[in-house]
Amino acid sequence: MTAPLKDRSMELQKQMIAAHYKRLEEAPNTGEPVVYTFVPGNLTELIRSFDALPLLPEINALQSGMRGKSGDYISVAEKAGHSEDVCTYVKCDIGMLKSGNISPIGTRLPKPDLLLLSYTGCYTFMKWFELLREEYHCPTVFLHIPYQGEGRIAPEHREYVVRQIRDDLIPALERITGRRYDEDRLKESLKLSASSEDDLVAVLESAKHRPSPIDAYFGAVYYVGPIFSAFRGTPEGSEYYGSLREEVEQRVALKLGPVTPEGPLDDQRYRLVVEGPPNWTSFRQFWKMFTDEQAVVVASTYTKVGGVYDDGFRHDAADPLGTMADYCGGCYTNLNLPGRIDMLVNYIRDYEADGFVINSVKSCNSFSAGQLLMLREVEKRTGLPGAFIESDLVDPRYFSAANIKNRLESYLQMLESRRSRARS
Amino acid sequence: MRVCDDLDFGIAREWLAENPGRKACGYLPVYAPKEVILASGLLPVGIHGGGDRLEIIRGDAFYQSYICHLPRSVIELAQTGRLDFLSALLFPSTCDVIRNLSGMWKVMYPDVVVRYLDLPQVTGTETGGLFWEGEMRGLLRDLGAVSGRPAGEDDIRQAIRLCNSLRSMVRELYRVRRERPWAVPTEELYSLLRAAEVVPVETFLDKARAYLAAAEEQPGARKDKSRVIVAGAFCEQPPLGLIKTIERAGCYIVDDDFLLGNRFLMSDVPTDGDPVRQLTNALLHDTVRSPVLFEASQDGKRRLMKERVEAARADGIIFAAASFCDPALLDRPMLRAGAEADAIPCIAFQFSENTGQFQQFREQAGTFADSIKLWGDNE
Ligand code: SF4
Ligand code: SF4
């Protein structure tokens, strides 16, 4: 029973992505406007309510990484004067652009009609779109999402974002698409978002079971794909999440673990929480290091970069602009360090984890700056040791398999010996 | 010891000791509204890292090797008790490293009032203005609670006047250096302005007036050097040795980004009307262009260096960014492409605040200065 169902959600996702890239490729002919934007704070429902197509450069970069293309793109960007020291997503994107702008699945990417700079949780976004604007000479709207410096979204910050959406962004979308803002349509879409968010949370929280029916890091990056990109609030998105939830619930009922590239992981020796983005260039190899040790990830912070839903937030069709402001402000990298530490500590407790791993990526100051303190604080508050490993997102030069494997193995051995000591 | 070398912030501590009720508020680069700190009765203290005189023992345990040097030396200063005189610390939205450091401070130093300052990226008065005004009013409330002396409108006006004098003095120093760089070497100017970050404003104004008068009396001798802009070092500061090296290699530095916060607002802030509104308008409409704020104009990055070169009558640009500094390094390809399209000679290098070897910079800057002269002669 499980296999066909599993195939169905994966199959659906594949088709959705391929169809979206195809539609993007055809956009210059069909006249569908294209809006480039970022995963954290993406306003997909709003963009789509104007019949525009979202394109997310981060997704292109990570897909290029998974398909072995990012190394070349990065070197093209570095040859063009970009520093070795900066975020490799940006360089991968610039390199792809300079190499003909062919998408990771081989389709041609359209130029943007609008750069929607949703400035949520990452400084680099600002530079990224300043750089793209140099290439495309198209309008740019800056949507400034205040950081949760005090650990909450202040009412005046929410109002600031609402004003920007209402007074700057919507008029810009009206101009470039030639359509009027249609709030009813937006509300319909937000309702679909909320139901997909319910499904996603059910899927992610299924990891509280033993065995966990999902891998909440390596497996879950696929699960969040549609909702973090072009499909939140769409009928295809809803169908995908409905079907994914059904599959996962079946696995729970059958007491099965996730299906990994190495096969099913039903026998789970370690339950881990992971902080930080994955490495994409050696993604399978990285995952295998965990499955070889029968380690399953039960919760991760990375799967919250495009929205935190397990704290109860849902898009609320009754207050379309306010809910978009809340959504943007709540994305993971927009949380301050104490908030991130709390999230990890809560995950470790709620998911009954044996330990936690931080994957620190060279590219990303937004994630990485402060992670060593997070490590210490989480250790202090949970009494559990953590593992700290280092790699990069899409720069293959920074994935040292032997080092990472060694570190992970010795960490798990340490957990094992703590466990034996506790038993004796 | 010179004030700018004093890692123990002696003058600030002396100021505090003069009256037990006094308190100090630190701020990290690049821009924090000093007026708000002063109006609240606190001493503003710029925290710009530990430079090349601070041995990093604890700081490295907080940062991976691929993160710039500044935050680790700031942590080192704190962990060695050197920042224990600060009652509050402000972290402006310069980049994600400083942003995250604000949260680290909250965890590590819960007794210090920590505020993250999210500069508005939207320049409309109704939207960005309301936001920033609200942020400043919140800050006034919080810092007023720290000092126990909440600022009234007149206190803010008084602080604006003082900061206008400070900004105008900085502008004057930069003007004199631009016109007679042999009389105001950057090595001296930088030391003076670095000291300005940690002493009461009035003390700085006295010293600066005396310095200008001395420069007038002993103008030095003009030498055959190339005029350069050093761009990109707006946050982590280069060691003084690097500035000296550039000058001694045959360059006059005629414009730079060092300690950029001291001239972030480019002209005097009016003192009539609502002072918080005036400070807001100044930030929205009268700021220096830097990587900290979004460049609204489509070709603004392309034009910026040409405009700066013309204003400073410079011959070339040295792009000097701190290693791993995303803001500077991501800006650089845009700025450099614009400069090169206008045939402005450029070189680029990376430094760290604790760089100790200058040989390579000496050679690069020397060759650059020579090539500019050669080029100039051929014209
Ligand atoms: S710095 Fe981090 S969050 Fe920002 S674009 Fe790069 S990888 Fe993404
Ligand atoms: S040197 Fe650059 S990266 Fe480092 S804290 Fe300053 S602005 Fe941020």
Closest by Cα among B45, B37, B50, B51 to B11: B45
Structure tokens at B318: 């040295």
Q: Which residues pair with A306 in a beta bridge?
A: none
A255 — contact with chain B (CB < 8 Å)?
no
pLDDT at A5: 44
* Tens digit of each residue's pLDDT (9 = 90 or more) over B312-362: 999 999 999 999 999 999 999 999 999 999 999 999 999 999 999 999 999
CATH dotted code for A186-423: 3.40.50.11900
Does A89 sit in the ligand 1 pocket, CB within 6 Å?
Answer: yes
Cα–Cα distance for residue pair A20/A34, rounded to 1 Å: 12
Closest ligand to the CA of B66: 2
| Phi–psi pair at B322, nearest 5 degrees | -70, 140
Chain position carrying tokens 């402060």: A370
Gap from B129 CA to chain A (nearest CA, Å): 10
Interatomic CA distance for residues B275 and B269, integer angstroms: 9
Q: How high is the pLDDT of residue B304? A: 98
**Unique residue bearing structure tokens 């508050």:** A381
| Check: complex ipTM more than 0.90 | yes
Cβ–Cβ < 8 Å for A386, A412: no
Reduced to 3 states, what is the DSSP secondary structure of residue A413?
A: helix
Q: Average pLDDT, stretch B166-183?
A: 97
Contact B336 A81 (CB under 8 A): yes
Query: For residue B379, is pLDDT > 50?
Result: no
* Chain B interface includes A283 (CB < 8 A): no
Region B3-157: CATH code: 3.40.50.11890
User: Hey, which of A36, A38, A124, A281 would you mutate to test ligand 1's pocket, going by the most ligand atoms within 8 Å of its Cβ?
Assistant: A124
pLDDT above 90 covers a percentage of chain B that reads: 93
Q: Which residue of B has its CA nearest to A148?
A: B116
Residue B221: what pLDDT? Answer: 84
Amino acid making up residue A243: S
Q: Tell me how far CA of residue B28 lies from CA of A315, B106, B140, B257, in angstroms.
A: 36, 15, 18, 15
Lookup result for tokens 């019949």: A51
The shortest C-alpha distance from A410 to chain B (Å) reads 20
Burial per residue of B253-266, b for 16 or more beta-carbon CB atoms within 10 angstroms, e otherwise: bbbbbbbbbbbbbe
In this structure, are strands A259-260 and A263-264 parallel, antiparallel, or unpaired?
A: antiparallel
Measured in Å, residue B379 CA sits from the centre of ligand 1 at 45
Contacts of A254 (CB under 8 A, 6+ apart): A1, A2
* Helix residue spans in B148-274 (DSSP H): 153-179, 186-196, 201-217, 240-248
pLDDT higher than threshold 70 for residue B209: yes
CB of A87 within 6 A of ligand 1: the answer is yes
pLDDT above 90 for B308: yes
pLDDT confidence of B257, banded at 50, 70, 90?
A: very high
Do the Cβ atoms of A337 and B103 come within 8 Å? yes
Q: Which of B116, B130, B326 sits opposite A149 (nearest CB)?
A: B116
Cβ neighbors of A86 (< 8 A, separation 6 or more) are A124, A363, B326, B329, B330
CA atoms within 13 A on the CB side of A29: 7
- Tell me: the pLDDT tens digits for B34-81? 999 999 999 999 999 999 999 999 999 999 999 999 999 999 999 999
Taking only residues 262 to 321 of chain B, the set having a beta carbon closer than 8 angstroms to any beta carbon of chain A reads 291, 294-296, 298, 301-302, 321
Torsion of CA A356, A359, A364, A367, to 10 degrees: 0
Residues of B in contact with A133 (CB under 8 A): 298
Asked whether the domain spanning A186-423 has the same topology as the one spanning A8-181, the reply is yes
Q: Which residue has the tokens 């700057």?
A: A168
Close Cβ partners of A93 (under 8 Å, ≥ 6 residues apart): A57, A60, A61, A73, A128, A132
- Read off the pLDDT of each residue in B224-230 and give the average, rounded to a whole number: 96
Closest CA to B92 of B296, B235, B240: B235
Task: Determine how β-strand B226-231 pairs with β-strand B251-256.
Answer: parallel
- The answer to whether the CB atoms of A123 and B64 lie below 8 A apart is no
- Read off the pLDDT band of B222 (50, 70, 90): confident
Question: CA A298, CA A350: separation in Å to the nearest integer?
Answer: 10
Whether A28 contacts chain B with CB within 8 A: no
CATH among 3.40.50.720, 3.40.50.11890, 3.20.20.70, 3.40.50.300 for A8-181: 3.40.50.11890
Q: Where are the domains of chain B?
A: 3-157, 221-374
Cis amide leading into B327 (omega within 30): no
For the record, the structure tokens of A400 come out as 């040292």
pLDDT computed for residue B49 by the predictor:
97
CA of A125 to the centre of ligand 1 (A): 7
> What pTM was computed for the model?
0.97
> Is the Cβ pair A130, B334 closer than 8 Å?
yes
Q: With beta carbons less than 8 A apart as the criterion, state whether B92 and B32 touch.
A: yes
User: Contact A88/A53 with Cβ under 8 angstroms?
Assistant: no
- Residue with the nearest Cα to atom 2 of ligand 2? B325
Residue nearest to atom 2 of ligand 1 (CA): A364
CA of A279 to the centre of ligand 1 (A): 13
Pocket test for ligand 2, best of B27, B91, B98 (most atoms within 8 A of CB): B98
The pair of structure tokens assigned to B370 is: 């020579």
Strand ranges (E), A44-125: 53-55, 114-119
Q: Which residue has the tokens 């650089």?
A: B332
Give me ligand 1 centre to Cα B19, in Å.
Answer: 47
Beta-carbon contacts of residue B364 (< 8 Å; ≥ 6 apart): B347, B349
Amino acid identity at A296? V
* Domain residue limits, chain A: 8-181, 186-423
Grade residue B378 by pLDDT with cuts at 50, 70 and 90.
very low
Cβ neighbourhood burial of A336 (10 Å; 0-12, 13-18, 19+):
buried
A364 lines ligand 1 (CB under 6 A): yes
Degrees to nearest 5, angle at CA B326 with B321 and B332: 55
Residues of chain A short of pLDDT 50, as ranges, are: 1-5
Establish whether domains B3-157 and B221-374 are of one fold.
yes
Which residues does chain B have within 8 Å of residue A362's beta carbon, measured at their own beta carbons?
Answer: 64, 66
Helix (H) or strand (E) holding A75: helix A70-79
- B30 cis-preceded (ω within 30 degrees of 0): yes
Look at residue A7 in the predicted model and tell me its pLDDT.
65
For residue A301, what are its two tokens?
Answer: 């912070």
Q: Which residues contact B233 (CB under 8 A, 6 or more apart)?
A: B256, B257, B258, B320, B321, B322, B328, B351
Chain segment B140-155, per-residue pLDDT in tens: 999 999 999 999 999 9
- Asked whether the beta carbons of residue A127 and residue B321 sit closer than 8 angstroms, the reply is no
Number of Cβ pairs closer than 8 Å across A and B? 157
Task: Give the DSSP per-residue string, B280-314.
Answer: HHHHHHSB---TTS---STTHHHHHHHHHHHHHT-
Contact (CB, 8 A) for A113 and A138: yes
CB distance B25 to B53 below 8 Å: no
Six-digit token string for B247:
């000058």
Q: Of B95, B104, B119, B326, which is best to mutate to test ligand 2, by the most ligand atoms within 8 angstroms of its C-beta?
A: B95
Residue A17 · residue A34 · CB < 8 Å: no
What CATH number labels B221-374? Answer: 3.40.50.11900
Say if residues B103 and A333 touch (Cβ distance below 8 Å). Answer: no
Burial class (CB in 10 A: 0-12, 13-18, 19+), A362: buried
Ligand 1 within 6 A of A124 CB? yes
A330 phi-psi bin (left φ>0, alpha ψ -120 to 50, beta other): alpha
* Inter-CA distances, A290 with A79, B186, B202, Å: 36, 55, 61
For residue B376, the model assigns a pLDDT of: 64
| Other C-beta atoms lying within 10 Å of the C-beta of residue B61 | 14
